[in-house]
Structure 1
């Protein structure tokens, strides 16, 4: 087994106290391995906690669409850690176990679109296009804008962009699920 290039910060890390407290508060009192890796750089951890905290907790976007985007990015980029952390909130927001399993097929010809309503299908397609192609078909953006409006489209695009950043960080630094 390969040794991790950069070890996680300790679970009982106490400094910088204000940042550690803010991260623990957002996480319900604990750290996850992502936090423990981020804390090697205080400016990155501070910015991440603020920005991703806003993405996770302050948007007006339907939480199911938010988590669909996050799960879709995870699958498309091979970031299992990200998927493990976002499948439960997707279900809490109204997704089904069948939809969770279907999201694992995003980007494949066998993706069962019929399990999702039309706006969810468009959100999944947006996730696919932004993650794989970067550019998005204008017709898709028009449909999303008509259905969701300015704020929700900006928020959905931001979620997908942000979680592409998250997955790339996780994969490059080999951040693994907490049970490993």
Structure 2
């Protein structure tokens, strides 16, 4: 966990996870791979993470991923648009709009329309489509954990 944190300093969230060592170990492994090893561009992954944070009202998650999204190439204008109802502003390109639609449907209704999946598949390679869906799922887990424990 320390290796993934700036200056190797654990944050409060890490200390909560460490209440269960098996949880902390598995969490760190899974989220470390989503954050650092997926082929899907980091900017797209961070966009997904921010949209999940908005939809699930996970302020802590937004605070962590907002600067990461900007550093990965996102813009302040896009951040503000992600907070809007629907989130699919003209500021976003075709790929981003497809990822927002995927994120919204998966987060809000679990089931994703086949047309949305087909669009993501058309725009991204197969492994990147799987990684996009996994990013949505993983960060829904994160946000739900954070919100439930009021982190």
Q: Taking structure 2 as the reference length, what is the TM-score of the superposition?
A: 0.96
Deviation (angstroms), 1:154? 0.4
Question: Unaligned regions of 5+ residues in structure 2, if any?
Answer: none
Matches within 5 A, 1:1-180: 23-28=1-6, 29-105=8-84, 108=85, 111=87, 113-175=89-151
1:139-176 CA-to-partner distances (Å, cap 9, x unmatched) read: 1111110110110000010000000000010011111x
Number of residue equivalences: 150
CA distance in structure 1 between the partners assigned to 2:106 and 2:119 by the alignment: 16
Q: 2:88 touches 2:100 (CA, 8 Å); kept in 1?
A: no
Larger radius of gyration: 1
The list of structure 1 runs, each at least 4 consecutive aligned residues, that deviate by more than 4 angstroms after superposition, is: none
User: Hey, what does 1:5 align to over in structure 2?
Assistant: none
Quote the offset at 1:85 in angstroms: 0.5
The structure richer in helix per residue is 2
Please give the per-residue CA displacement for 1:61-115, whole angstroms capped at 9, x wherever unaligned.
111110011000000000010011001111111111111111111xx15x45101
Q: Superposition RMSD on alpha carbons, in Å?
A: 1.0
Work out the CA distance in 1 between the residues paired with 2:12 and 2:99: 28
- Does the CA contact (< 8 Å) of 2:66 and 2:79 recur in 1? yes
